[in-house]
Structure formats: C-alpha cells, structure tokens
C-alpha cells in the first residue's frame, strides 16, 4: 500500500465536504419547488434551503446538554468520509459501513437529550436503519458479483467503485432487481414519506421533528447540511448502476439519478406515513426477493 492510496480518499472527503453541500442544497431547493408545484403552490426561491441554514447559523447557541453538538459533528465528518471514499472510487462496502456509522452518531445525538420526542425519533431511526441495512449490504455484494461477471479479469470481482469505469457495459444489465430494491429503501434513506418515521418535513405528521426535536441553531444547520451530503451520496449509489467504460456514461448516470430524485419527490407527495411494522416487513421482503434472488441467479450463472 502506498501513502497515496490513503491520502486520496481523505482529500476526496475534504472536497466532498465542500462540493456536496452546494449540490445537495440546490437539490433541496428543487425538491421544495417541485413539491410546492405538486401541491398547487408556487414554492420558495431555489436558494431557500441556503437562506434557512444561514439564518440558523446566526441563532443563539443553546443546547440541552453538553454532548449533542459533538455527536452531530461526528455524524457530519463520517458522512463526508463516506462520500469521499465513494467518489474517489474507493471500496463500496467501506462506504456503506461508514455512512451507517454516521447514522449511528445522529441517533446517539437524539438519544443523548433524554427528551421523549427525540427518543421516539431515535428509536424509529434505529428501526429505519434495521429495515434498509440488508438491502444496502446486498447492493454492495451484488455490485461485486456483477463486476466479477463483466470485468475481463475472469471471475474476480471488485468492491471498488472505480472498477465500474473498466466495465464493457453497466452492472444494471445483471442486477436490475437489486436496483429496484435499492430504489425502494432509498425512500427510507432520503427520509421521504411514506417512510419518514423518524423526522419529516411535512407538518401534518404525528411526530414531525422526532430526531431533531432538541436541536437548534448551528447544530440544526449542520444536520441540514449533513442531510444534503447524504442525498448526494445516495444518488451516487443510484448512478453507479449506469456507469461503464465510456466517459459519457457518467452523463447518463446523472440523468438517471435526477430522474430517481424526481420519482422520490413524487412518492413523497403522494403517500401517507406508514407504521413501522409495514416498513420493516416490506423493506425486508424487498431485500429478500430483489436482493436475494438476484445474487442467487448471479451465483449460478
């Protein structure tokens, strides 16, 4: 191993920490405009999410305990690391594990407050992680097995995102059921209705701000930025299905990612929140059918 291999993902994480919030902010702005149009409203300006965050930054610094802010900072650092690993072509499993660590820190931030509302949110967020985690792991395994079939290396696959650029054709050809499964759980990861159990931006839900109930000012602003970064990373996961050796495949991938984002907004505005039982059962069923059958087929090809 050379030092460079270690430095690249770290540098990439720093770049990600700057670029992803910008892209994520614009995506959030588009989300709000599209949502408003779907509800028959005009909606805020494109940069409204940025104005919101800037205003939060200027608020008085108060907190319910001395640790919450530190947890949120950790969540942000690890989200950036996960993004850096992914976009520098690093190991997909490592990326998946690190983003889970980031979610865990957010959950701990909520739990550390001992507020009943935040605790409900944290418990629900834990449930959400348990619901989507199998599908995410199967996504990484399926990517590995698909590259094993496509790469010219004869049966040796790769977990490295960068390997996608050596493919003759994109992995979607072999693992489209996994792609559909990932789309399903993406609704949970993007905190969209009907799976926005732990926190929501729809004011009519029974618990709106669950996990962020006790966060305010700069801490809340950082959570917002963290959310933007996560969205960029997850859309990156979606687009990796469509990348292959040709450079212009990246454009196709971006178009697909944006289409998926639109689909998520559409779903968000058309479904009512479900109970956790349905979320757990449906997400696990999707992982078992979409992920399980797909990798079984790959194994026996």
Considering only residues 39 through 68, tell me which ones interact with other proteins, judged by CB under 8 A. 60-68
Q: Does 114 bind other proteins (CB under 8 A)?
A: yes
User: For other proteins, which stretch binds (CB under 8 A), given 25-33, 99-107, 227-235, 251-259?
Assistant: 99-107
Show the binding pattern over residues 263-292: x = contacts other proteins (CB under 8 A), - = does not: --------------x--x---x--xx--xx
The answer to whether the CB of 137 falls within 8 A of the CB of 96 is yes
Give residues 142-181 in contact with other proteins (rule: CB under 8 A).
144-145, 156-159
Residues of this chain, 212-241, that bind other proteins according to CB under 8 A: 213-214
Query: How many whole angstroms separate alpha carbon 126 and alpha carbon 118?
Result: 12
Name which of 1 and 18 has its Cβ closer to other proteins: 1
Told to check if 100 binds other proteins by CB under 8 A, we report yes
Any contact of residue 200 with other proteins (CB under 8 A)? Answer: no
Among 24, 49, 134, 236, binds other proteins (CB under 8 A): 134
Q: Is 205 in the site for other proteins (CB under 8 A)?
A: no
Token pair recorded at residue 60:
């008085």
**Residue 300 touches other proteins, criterion: CB under 8 A:** yes
Q: Tell me if 118 contacts other proteins by CB under 8 A.
A: yes
For 226, the token pair is: 């963290």
* Residues 234 and 136: beta-carbon distance below 8 Å: no
Q: Distance between CA 170 and CA 164 in Å, rounded? A: 7
Residue 248 binding other proteins, by CB under 8 A: no
Q: Count other C-beta atoms under 10 Å from residue 271's C-beta.
A: 14
For 240-277, the DSSP string reads: GGG--SSTTHHHHHHHHHHHHHHHHHHHHHH-PPPPHH
Choosing from 108, 208, 263, 266, the residue that interacts with other proteins (CB under 8 A) is 108
Q: What is each CA distance from 121 to 97, 115, 127, 231, 297, in whole angstroms?
A: 22, 10, 10, 20, 38
Tell whether residue 26 is a contact of other proteins (CB under 8 A).
no
């Amino acid at each position: 191993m050379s030092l460079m291999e270690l430095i690249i993902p770290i540098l990439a994480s720093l770049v990600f920490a700057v670029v992803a919030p910008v892209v994520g902010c614009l995506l959030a702005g588009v989300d709000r405009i599209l949502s408003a149009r779907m509800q028959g409203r005009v909606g805020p300006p494109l940069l409204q999410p940025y104005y919101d965050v800037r205003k939060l930054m200027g608020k008085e610094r108060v907190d319910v305990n001395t640790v919450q802010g530190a947890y949120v900072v950790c969540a942000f650092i690890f989200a950036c690391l996960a993004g850096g690993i992914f976009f520098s072509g690093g190991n997909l499993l490592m990326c998946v594990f690190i983003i889970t660590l980031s979610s865990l820190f957010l959950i701990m931030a909520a739990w550390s407050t001992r507020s009943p509302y935040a605790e409900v949110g944290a418990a629900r967020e834990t449930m959400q992680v348990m619901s989507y985690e199998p599908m995410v792991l199967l996504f990484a395994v399926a990517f590995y097995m698909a590259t094993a079939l496509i790469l010219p290396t004869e049966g040796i696959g790769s977990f490295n995102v960068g390997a996608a650029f050596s493919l003759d054709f994109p992995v979607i050809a072999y693992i489209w059921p996994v792609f559909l499964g990932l789309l399903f759980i993406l609704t949970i990861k993007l905190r969209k209705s009907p799976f926005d159990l732990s926190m929501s931006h729809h004011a009519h839900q029974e618990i709106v701000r669950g996990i962020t109930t006790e966060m305010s000012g700069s801490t809340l602003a950082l959570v917002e930025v963290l959310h933007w970064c996560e969205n960029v990373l997850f859309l990156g996961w979606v687009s990796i299905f469509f990348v292959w050796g040709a450079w212009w495949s990246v454009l196709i991938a971006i178009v697909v990612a944006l289409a998926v984002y639109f689909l998520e907004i559409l779903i968000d505005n058309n479904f009512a929140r479900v109970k956790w039982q349905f979320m757990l059962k449906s997400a696990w069923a999707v992982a078992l059918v979409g992920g399980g059958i797909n990798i079984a087929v790959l194994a026996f090809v």
